[in-house]
Structure 1
Amino acid sequence: MKKMLIPLVAVIVIACSIVACKKEAKQTSQNEEVSQDALSKIKALGFGTSDVRKVAEGYLVEGDIVLTNENLDNVPPMGILRVGESEQYRTTNLVTKLPRTITVTTTGLTQPYIDGTIQTVTRYNNLNLQIKFQYISSGTADITIVGFNQGPSGGYITLGSSGFPTKRGNPYGQVKMNTNQYAYGTNPDPTYVGSVIQHEIGHCIGFRHTDYMDRSYSCGGATSNEGASNVGAVHIPGTPTGPDANSWMLACSNGKDRTFNANDKTALNYLY
């Protein structure tokens, strides 16, 4: 998930871009390490290829989604059902073996990130889904929240990233949260941090961005389609079929707490 930087930090961002972030921007354009074969597979799965980055886990696409090599080798079915004018989308992989409890923990993060994680667990559990979440303070969890430190680039800053469920039906195992001061400030608001964790865990259990067909809806700038609508994005019956205001799965943050809206709840209840 990304956040567009606001004018209050524009001077700082400009200074940053002169010294360090310009190099980062060069690295995060069309990354030379990404092979044409990988780009072809990413496109075939229905994801945009305009800003793909090679990362330790695989490839970072759409600003905050990690596609592993397993994801790239998993060819989804081609069918899609569309109803209405805006919608929630899921991936072809979902969490299985329901009902089940998914454990979540944090490692190496400060209290606001811990509090935000606990808030996320509570919000999901309040929906009474077939998947429950449980925060554990130690031990091995199904999903681990970890930190990384990355400054702004191109007028945006990445708030967090995660991936999609495995072919075996398990949630993606890691959420990365940006600890850079320009992501959440020097005194992070646990509620805002928690809303981003809530979004990233949405990816972990199989949700694509609500506005994947036009990221400019939440990110601003030019119209940008993240990928083909008939591959890797399956419409969820009962939800609208275009961008959905205030959905928890919009591609870019509005800088405020954003939780489940009515359509989000319909989508979650349909799947889980």
Structure 2
Amino acid sequence: MKTTAFSSTLGVLALAALLLTSCSEKTEVAKDQVSPEALAKIQALGFSTHNVQRDGDTYIVEGDIRLTDRDLAGAYSNGKLLRVGEAEQYRTTNLVSGTRTIKISLSSRMPASYSAVIDEVVKRYNAQGLRLTFAKAGSNGDIVLNTANGSYLASAGFPTGGNPYNSVKVNTRAIGTVSTTAQINYAATIIAHEVGHCIGFRHTDYMDRSYSCGGAYSNEGASSVGAVLIPGTPSGPDSGSWMLACIGSGQNRYFNKNDITALGYLY
């Protein structure tokens, strides 16, 4: 998740420039560069290739989504996307299977104050009566919050093998102090968004990121996987969704009506 340029008091989190190697001859790709081959695979999976970043052995796409080389090999190449209205709710190919409890924990490097953030995230999801139950764990959770630096507030990946993505990278310096109720709610909104990715959701403004991020029209790309509309949802913009791509500093987004419909439809 990213901070919006037009509402953030923290300022714009600058994205790293996209580095490309020449296609005219075979050259070695530097460790932090994204190869043309990787970009082609990212596009083939239906993700935007704008401002793709390399972070260790993963690629960060669409501001906060982590993809591995295994993902690029086709782990998400089949299936359908879930759509809610015109400002859509989308899911990925993979979901979390079964009726189960998903435990969320902090790594040893995370500030202890984020324990209260996990409590709020757990409360928000469990209030929906889903077949997935969430709980805070002291360590070794199914989803572990880890510190990270970068041009994003937080980032995560998608489920594999019926299990949630196991990590949320959190830029605690960008999010700021977490002590007051308002600060906890802001951080919980960001972490709940990333947990949404971990259980299979894509961005609500998937078809036009400028809706929440500002700037020019930007379609994240639908590839050939299609979309399934949830009946009974409105066709207008969905301004309050917890899965919008960008957030203004200090904003607090609970699940809105469409979010609740989408969560209930999948889980």
TM-score by length of 1: 0.82
Distance 1:135 1:218 in 2: 30
Structure showing the higher helix proportion among its residues: 1
Distance 1:186 1:79 in 2: 38
Distance 1:270 1:244, change over 3 A: same
Alignment of 1:15-164 (within 5 A): 25=15, 28-32=16-20, 33-73=33-73, 74-77=75-78, 84-96=85-97, 98-107=98-107, 108-138=109-139, 140-150=140-150, 158-164=152-158
Distance 2:57 2:72 in 1: 12
Distance 1:125 1:82 in 2: 23
Distance 1:254 1:235, change over 3 A: farther
Match of 1:264 among 242, 259, 264: 259
Paired position in structure 1 for 2:28: none
Identity, % of aligned pairs?
A: 48
Distance 2:153 2:8 in 1: 18
Distance 2:51 2:64 in 1: 11
Match of 2:230 among 212, 226, 237: 237
Paired position in structure 2 for 1:177: 170
The CA deviation at 1:7 is: 7.2
Structure 1 unaligned regions, length at least 5: 14-20, 151-156
Distance 1:270 1:186, change over 3 A: closer
Distance 2:123 2:134 in 1: 8
Contact 1:236/1:267 (8 A) holds in 2: no
Distance 2:158 2:236 in 1: 22
TM-score by length of 2: 0.84
SS of residue paired to 1:90: coil
Q: Which amino acid aligns with 1:169?
A: G
Contact 2:81/2:92 (8 A) holds in 1: no
Distance 1:82 1:267, change over 3 A: closer
Please identify, of 104-113 and 247-256, the stretch whose mean Cα deviation from structure 2 is larger.
104-113
Contact 1:90/1:236 (8 A) holds in 2: no
Distance 1:8 1:55, change over 3 A: closer
Cα-to-partner distance string for 1:144-177 (whole Å, 9 max, x where unaligned): 0011234xxxxxx5211000001x1110000011
Distance 1:248 1:171 in 2: 18
Structure 2 unaligned regions, length at least 5: 21-32
Distance 1:122 1:44, change over 3 A: same
Q: Which amino acid aligns with 1:76?
A: S
Distance 1:43 1:169 in 2: 24
Q: What is the RMSD computed on CA atoms of the aligned residues?
A: 2.4
Distance 1:7 1:225, change over 3 A: closer
Please identify, of 81-90 and 157-166, the stretch whose mean Cα deviation from structure 2 is larger.
81-90
Distance 1:87 1:202 in 2: 14
